[in-house]
């Protein structure tokens, strides 16, 4: 296997991060290679196929760990823990913390883009690395990596997180008569590797943003972040400044809604008053 200087450097760095030396280095190289760097080559040379396998292996490891750790949780609670832990936001955050952003091999088409699809790429690389470890060293090696890097985030509190953050946020805001809306504010990355950024609004007041590989996931992440800031999403605290800002925005939206209702009532009163005046004048005439 003939490698470029960049590939060799990033391959070595990736193995340092993992603390594992690959017998078949091509597996790891594929796991850290963005599809933009393999144009015209077989799909096996990028992370695309490996992430498919890694997703299933990762899910099994997380599910098994949650099952054996939390004996009193039912299927719903265990599912919520798994979903929260293997979400795109969770995996990309872990991968970024490990330093994976520095080892991804990008193609020339990404040059000058600021790696706009980095959020998505980090998630994909994490899953692909799990698959590469599994294929090279077996399930114990893959499980050791996941246990070291991802499992520390696992908590029983995740079982109380809403399965549908958008519905949970709507319920919360509608207590004050506010219906949240979502707007796509940014699209990052090339067509084959999009990352979407959505923002949730309470009235005209912008709340949190979220990223995802689909618009739906981005909106869900935005709702999740808003709930976290409002202090109503267990497992994700948010700092005091974020909470204060979110609550202030919701309070402003509530005031805005109240003002709209007051204006509507005033307009209705004026309309009825004018109708009575017109009817009285007609009768007198």
- Active-site pick, 55, 110, 123, 217: 55
- Count of beta carbons in the 10 Å neighbourhood of residue 22: 19
Cβ pair 31, 122 in contact under 8 A: no
Q: Pick the closest to residue 174 from 202, 205, 199 (CA basis).
A: 202
Whole-Å CA distances, 50 to 47, 75, 87, 214: 5, 28, 17, 20
Q: Pick the closest to residue 233 from 174, 154, 166, 181 (CA basis).
A: 166
Active site residue 55: yes
Query: C-alpha angle 230/236/240, rounded to 5°?
Result: 50
Cβ pair 173, 229 in contact under 8 A: no
Place of tokens 């490698």: 3
CA distance 2 to 23: 16
Question: Which residues are CB-neighbours of 177 under 8 A, at least 6 positions away?
Answer: 254, 257, 261
Active site residue 127: yes
- Active-site pick, 25, 127, 193, 217: 127
For 79, how many CA atoms within 13 A lie in the half-sphere containing its CB? Answer: 6
Pairing of strands 180-188, 205-212: unpaired
SS3 label, residue 137: helix
Indicate the Cα dihedral angle 188, 191, 192, 193, nearest 10°: 0
Active site (catalytic) residues: 55, 127
């Amino acid at each position: 296997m003939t490698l470029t200087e960049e590939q060799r450097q990033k391959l070595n760095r990736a193995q340092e991060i993992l603390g594992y030396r690959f017998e078949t280095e091509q597996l790891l190289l594929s796991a850290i290679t963005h599809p933009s760097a393999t144009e015209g080559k077989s799909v096996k040379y990028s992370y695309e196929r490996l992430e498919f396998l890694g997703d299933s292996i990762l899910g099994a490891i997380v599910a098994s760990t949650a099952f054996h750790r939390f004996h009193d949780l039912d299927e719903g609670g265990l599912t919520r823990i798994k979903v929260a832990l293997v979400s795109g936001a969770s995996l990309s955050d872990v991968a970024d913390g490990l330093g994976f952003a520095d080892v991804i091999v990008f193609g020339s088409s990404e040059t000058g883009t600021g790696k706009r699809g980095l959020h998505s790429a980090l998630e994909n690389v994490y899953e692909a690395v799990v698959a590469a470890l599994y294929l090279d060293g077996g399930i114990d090696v893959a499980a050791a990596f996941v246990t070291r890097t991802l499992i520390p985030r696992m908590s029983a509190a995740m079982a109380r997180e809403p399965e549908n953050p958008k519905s949970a946020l709507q319920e919360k805001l509608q207590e004050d008569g506010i219906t949240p809306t979502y707007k796509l504010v940014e699209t990052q990355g090339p067509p084959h590797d999009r990352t979407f950024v959505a923002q949730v609004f309470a009235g005209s007041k912008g709340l949190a943003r979220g990223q995802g590989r689909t618009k739906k996931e981005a909106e869900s992440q935005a709702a999740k972040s808003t709930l976290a800031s409002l202090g109503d999403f267990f497992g994700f605290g948010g700092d005091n400044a974020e909470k204060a800002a979110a609550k202030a925005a919701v309070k402003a939206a509530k005031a805005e809604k109240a003002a709209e209702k007051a204006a509507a009532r005033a307009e209705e009163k004026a309309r009825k008053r004018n109708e009575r005046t017109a009817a009285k004048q007609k009768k007198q005439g």
